[in-house]
Amino acid sequence: MDLADSLQKEIDILNEYLPEELSDEELEKIVKETITKVKAESIKQMGMVIKTISSEYGARCDMAKVSKLVKEKLS
């Protein structure tokens, strides 16, 4: 139990320094804007969209969600 308490304290401290994750609504808006910005029209350009989002918002978003959203929008 002491180990669990210790690890939870470490998690709490680390969470104070991590950037806040983007909401699903914000993420969807960013995906739409980025697709327009890079003029992606097909699934072949998915990598370019994901790379752009990652470089601009990487630490603030779940890239698995980004990948799923980009795939949905470009399919």
pTM score: 0.75
With 0-12 / 13-18 / 19 or more C-beta atoms within 10 angstroms meaning exposed / middle / buried, residue 22 is middle
- The predicted model gives 22-40 an average pLDDT of 94
The string of pLDDT tens digits covering residues 1-27 is 788 889 999 999 988 888 888 999 999
CB within 8 Å of 42: residues ≥ 6 apart: 74
Question: Tokens 């990652």 correspond to what residue?
Answer: 54
